[in-house]
């Protein structure tokens, strides 16, 4: 695969870094290193005694992060792993509790823009979509081996696509003649499945299906709740978690998990007194932060972004 500069415009950059930052000598974890935009901004605020830990499963992000953070004055540790392994990454580095943890979810601009990664419905490439290129399960496997029912379910649940059943049916019919090997071929199948009238309005007809397949390939939603709970466990009292989401499914999990962690009592409502003795673990900081009009003008990909911040109690 040819080398590409890792370019990714960090969304809600100042807002997210300010939202989780409190101590120039603290320990901060960027769970989604990407192009190291958020990490570079954090590193610039840290004193030499501060420590920044960057995690990413994509080797291209690891290389880009190492280059971008090479001149930082604070301590830097960059680890190639899936952020669902946050606990074991921190154990491996022998850190105690940390001051701030940031998640910038979803696919990076780099992954979309590098055609051969197979994330984009705008460029023809092998069907891939693996955030970790060493994983042995790809979009090709989903498209060519899942049953019509399985395809319908993921395109409905993860893509929120009203034509899911028809798209799944067309995929199964087409792959019976020859396997669907490229993004371009999959886009053609999706376009045939969605009636012409429905294709005229709204986003690209393949957008929701591609999102659904990408989420399935990388188990993006399945790992979130437990990872957020682990992150809160690893924060110092007063430490902060920041979560940037890009679609309603991720955001719902972030919102519900933080709300659950912020609850004082989880007893059934019919009990006259509290017997669970549950204490709230976090305090959610106001409403989610949205990108400014200026940011949206510079980076249209930020339009669906939401930042949620919570403080460990």
CATH 1.10.1740.10 fits 118-218, yes or no: no
Residue 74 CA to residue 117 CA, distance in Å, equals: 33
pLDDT tens digit string along 189-232? 999 999 998 888 888 999 999 999 999 999 999 999 999 999 99
- CATH fold, domain 13-106+221-312, is Rossmann fold (3.40.50)
Residue 311 CA to residue 313 CA, distance in Å, equals: 6
pLDDT tens digit string along 221-270? 999 999 999 999 999 999 999 999 999 999 999 999 999 999 988 888 89
DSSP strand pairing (51-56 vs 75-80):
parallel
Other CB atoms within a 10 A radius of the CB of residue 304 amount to 15
- Percent of the chain surpassing pLDDT 90: 83
Mark 140-178 as b/e (b = at least 16 C-beta within 10 Å). Answer: bebbeebeeeebbbbbbebbebebbbbbbebbbebbeee
Region 290-303 average pLDDT: 92
Q: Which two tokens stand for residue 203?
A: 């986003």
The DSSP element (H or E) to which 51 belongs, if any, is strand 51-56
Q: Name, in order, each residue with C-beta under 8 angstroms of 313's C-beta and a sequence gap of 6 or more.
A: 237, 279, 280, 281, 282, 283
Q: What is the pTM of this model?
A: 0.91
Q: Which two tokens stand for residue 158?
A: 């993860």
- Give the pLDDT of residue 6: 53
Residue 249 CA to residue 160 CA, distance in Å, equals: 9
Phi and psi for 205 in degrees, rounded to 5? -60, -25
Measured over all CA atoms, what is the biggest interatomic distance in the chain, rounded to whole angstroms?
66
**Segments making up each domain of the chain, as ranges:** 13-106+221-312, 118-218
Q: Of the ranges 103-112, 133-142, 249-258, which one carries the lowest mean pLDDT score? A: 103-112
Residue 160 CA to residue 153 CA, distance in Å, equals: 10
Q: Name, in order, each residue with C-beta under 8 angstroms of 91's C-beta and a sequence gap of 6 or more.
A: none
Mark 265-275 as b/e (b = at least 16 C-beta within 10 Å). Answer: eeeeeeeeeee
DSSP 227: H
Coil, helix or strand for 153?
Answer: helix
| CA–centroid distance for 299 within its chain | 18
Residue 11 CA to residue 44 CA, distance in Å, equals: 17
The DSSP element (H or E) to which 310 belongs, if any, is strand 306-312
């Amino acid at each position: 695969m040819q080398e590409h500069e890792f370019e990714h415009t960090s969304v809600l950059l100042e807002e997210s870094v300010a939202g989780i930052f409190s101590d120039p000598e603290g320990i901060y974890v960027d769970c989604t290193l990407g192009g190291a935009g958020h990490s570079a901004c954090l590193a610039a605020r840290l004193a030499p005694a501060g420590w920044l830990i960057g995690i990413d499963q994509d080797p291209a992000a690891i290389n880009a992060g190492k280059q971008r953070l090479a001149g930082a004055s604070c301590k830097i540790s960059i680890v190639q792993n899936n952020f669902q392994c946050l606990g074991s990454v921190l154990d491996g580095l022998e850190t105690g509790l940390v001051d701030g943890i940031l998640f910038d979810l979803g696919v990076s601009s780099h992954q979309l823009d590098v055609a051969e990664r197979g994330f984009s419905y705008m460029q023809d490439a092998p069907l891939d979509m693996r955030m970790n290129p060493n994983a042995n399960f790809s979009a090709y496997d989903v498209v060519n081996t899942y049953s019509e029912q399985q395809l319908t379910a993921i395109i409905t649940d993860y893509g929120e696509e009203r034509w899911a059943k028809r798209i799944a049916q067309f995929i199964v019919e087409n792959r019976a003649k020859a396997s669907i090997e490229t993004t371009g071929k999959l886009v053609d199948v999706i376009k045939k499945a969605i009636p012409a009238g429905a294709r005229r309005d709204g986003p690209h007809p393949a957008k929701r299906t591609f999102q659904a397949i990408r989420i399935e390939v990388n188990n993006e939603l399945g790992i979130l709740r437990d990872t957020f709970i682990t992150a809160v466990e690893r924060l110092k009292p007063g430490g902060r978690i920041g979560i940037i989401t890009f679609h309603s499914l991720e955001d719902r999990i972030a919102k519900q998990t933080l709300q659950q962690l912020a609850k004082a009592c989880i007893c059934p409502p019919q009990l006259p007194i509290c017997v669970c003795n549950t204490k709230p673990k976090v305090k959610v900081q106001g409403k989610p932060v949205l990108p400014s009009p200026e940011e949206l003008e510079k980076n249209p990909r930020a339009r669906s972004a939401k930042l949620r911040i919570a403080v460990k109690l």
